[in-house]
Amino acid sequence: MALRQTLGVVIRLADLGEADKIVTLYTPATGQISGIAKGAKRSLKRFVNKLEIFSLLDLEYSDHYRLPIINQAELLNSHLPLREDYHAYTAAALVCELYRLWTHQGDHDQGLFALLNWVLARLQHREGRLESLVLFLARFYRRLGYQPDLSGCVSCRRLDRQAGPFRFQARQGTIVCSHCRPRSSAPGLSIATVRLLGRALELPLDKLSRLRLAPASTREALALFKEHDRVLLDRELAAWNFLGE
């Protein structure tokens, strides 16, 4: 039986029968994996306080069976504040749901793993929490290759103050200016929001924290990504509706 070791962040937990749990993780080496933690519900010493949502673990598992068996887990970071605050929890839950839906076993990506740890660390702070979520969403869709095209109005290519406000066309993933489509009912995007998101798509992760979004831009950007997400996944994730503050 092949024993494997990996880092992983718990993105979902489910009960399995009386005693076991199915743990889904995002890992840097194999992408998303789900495994059985035998006896996890009986709080055996090797799992107690470790198999919790958002935890960063160092795992040992055997992949002899179709569903791997998790033998041991070492807790590296519990991200505990995310489980103790409602707003932090809902934002982090949305992030984990996106990883669960967008990633698969085998399509590992070190960048996505680093991004997950980056956003879970940032969401613990009340200050700028939704801003961090916006920056995360920009990088996440960029990494997946599904970033919206914010380079200018899709029709006339303008990207200046006089052309705004812009509208996001979710079906095409593009923006259009108020001159080309004066009667659009889609939520407006100010030029400031469009430019900031454009920069967020380009900046490397270690420079991302430098960007500052005004509350109005944060709201506009969240509305954009919620719509983007709904169109791409062809459904609305419940987690979006619990975001607040």
Binding site for Zn ion (CB under 5 A): 153, 155-156, 177, 180
Q: Distance between CA 222 and CA 159 in Å, rounded? A: 20
Burial 205-214 (b: 16+ CB within 10 A, else e): beebeeeebe
- Residue 70 or 163: which CB sits closer to Zn ion? 163
Contact 100, 239 (CB under 8 A): no
- Residue 31 or 164: which CB sits closer to Zn ion? 164
Residue 84 CB, nearest approach to Zn ion (Å):
47
Residue 9 CB, nearest approach to Zn ion (Å):
41
Instruction: Indicate the burial class of 93 (C-beta count within 10 angstroms; 0-12, 13-18, 19 or more).
Output: buried
Q: Fill in the DSSP letter of residue 23.
A: E
Residue 219 CB, nearest approach to Zn ion (Å):
23
Residue 26 CB, nearest approach to Zn ion (Å):
39
Please report where in the chains the tokens 């992949």 appear, as a residue: 63
Q: Distance between CA 173 and CA 48 in Å, rounded? A: 44
Contact 233, 240 (CB under 8 A): no
Residue 159 CB, nearest approach to Zn ion (Å):
9
Q: Which helix (H) or strand (E) holds 139?
A: helix 129-144
- Residue 34 or 155: which CB sits closer to Zn ion? 155
- Residue 92 or 177: which CB sits closer to Zn ion? 177
Angle at which helix 215-233 crosses helix 129-144, to 10 degrees, equals 40
- Residue 37 or 177: which CB sits closer to Zn ion? 177
Residue 150 CB, nearest approach to Zn ion (Å):
13
Q: Distance between CA 27 and CA 181 in Å, rounded? A: 44
- Residue 71 or 155: which CB sits closer to Zn ion? 155
